[in-house]
Structure 1
Amino acid sequence: MKKEKNSWISYIGGLSQISKNYELSELENVIQILSPDPFSRSLLYHGVPVIYLMDYSTGRYVTMSKSSQITIGSKADYFIDGGINYTLEIYHKEDMRMFNERIFPDRLNFLEKVPFDQHPDYLFSYNYRLKRSNGGYVNLLQRNCIIKSDEKGKLILSLGMIVNIDHYKNENPVIHTIEKISKVGVQQSCELINKKLYYLHEEDQLFSNREKEVLLWMVEGLSSKQIADKMYLSEHTVINHRRNMMDKTGISNATALVGYALRMKII
């Protein structure tokens, strides 16, 4: 029997039956960062992203930096007092449905394969929209990691940051990435291990005619240079078509892309 996917809302609702699995003393360093001294307050409120700490077991924000009023358009107190319910009120309906029904279940499926004590080693990013007080929407990029899970792998605490990307990103597609944080000695690195595009409208995910033409030549075993010669295009353009198709499908190599196209009868 196929396992039913956990949506974000149902997952948090299910965790509400579990008692709190941490002490506030464990969070002192995080809370201290979000409660700056007067000399740092101006920089924190105006110069850096929104930083938040969310408790999945209660569906509430433990704390959030006051820069949310500038970056998001809502006071931090609204999120802290209202919890997930306030977030749901201002979340763009299409973006919420996408995160709730597709992105979060995929993210959860990934984490279920990772030992609970390694959850903090992975960084998740995606873009979405929240409604401002004036009725317009702001484009945001959120990056977060699960800093605490219980021994059964249930997510408890999520620490994240949110930045305004109005000048860089439109709403479609939603781009979700997973990065692995590694530490060797004092050096840290961040490796992209998964990138997937989620389209708000199904028709946007379909391959273009030009992309399908590139696929047909890929089935014949031609290289990007050979395909470019056949189609009277630059090799760079062909490479971009291949990359776009892999981004749309979440597939990381050409052989798997061809197999997917044949299996789904795209070509």
Structure 2
Amino acid sequence: MSTPRFALIGHPVAHSLSPRIHAEFARQTGIAMEYGLIDATAERFDAALAEFAAAGGAGANVTLPHKARAATVCNHLSDRARRCGVVNTLIRTATGWDGDNTDGLGLVRDLTDRHGQDLRGRRVLLIGAGGVAHGVAPALLDAGISGLVIVNRTDSRTDALADLLGEPARVHPRNFTDLHTLGVFDLIINATSIGHASDGGELPLPNSLIAPRGDVVDLGYGEAAIGFLAWARACGADQLIDGLGMLVEQAAESFKCWHGVRPDADAIYAELRAESGSPAAMA
């Protein structure tokens, strides 16, 4: 009997830590699996997924730029995938693909369980309205935040995410040009490349956004998060958190979707954190 095959599909994916994370989960649980990387452009996504399925693919993680497209190829979406409109976890069934999204639960688990955050009643700024932002926004609302302000470079995408969430009393789409009028936030989450080396520009953010004892999260990790977290540190943020914890927590939830058991993410998190250093140290 062949070993079940899993993969991460995205573009690019060569840098991904997912194979290492899932190898640790497989070792920990004693579950046999292969986990590889599939680099596919947007134009190649459907064909690459079909080829993977034909070769015996049992499940996949989906990353940029395919999360929205992945939702459209599924026969069935979980409640949380339907609510956020994007998919990061595919499960092969006898009739095709089922879709789920574990990003939001992964983020909330990292913030609350690992970093001791109490999200209830907090005013949150979410920078970005792409696939990752879609994945985390519903979970933040479910965690009890008092308000979510979403800003993005493209107004139509910001409005679309706000409409999808369907909570006008708590969710407020805004433009970057509004930021200096929006007051301060207890938690700021960067779900874009702003502040990353690839973004190539100065941060288009006022220095007065962070409330006293306010915290900042960049959903990137490693070198990608250094610029944004350095800005946050200079602005007086309390906790500086990168996306490494979310990465391992969402992976653990995906593993549970495929195998019915949730592995312990702490060991691989500690290993990867020791190698990369703490966000505060990097900033």
Task: Tell me if TM exceeds 0.5.
Answer: no
Q: What is the TM-score with the length of structure 1 in the denominator?
A: 0.25
Indicate the structure (1 or 2) with the bigger Cα radius of gyration. Answer: 1
Q: What is the TM-score with the length of structure 2 in the denominator?
A: 0.24
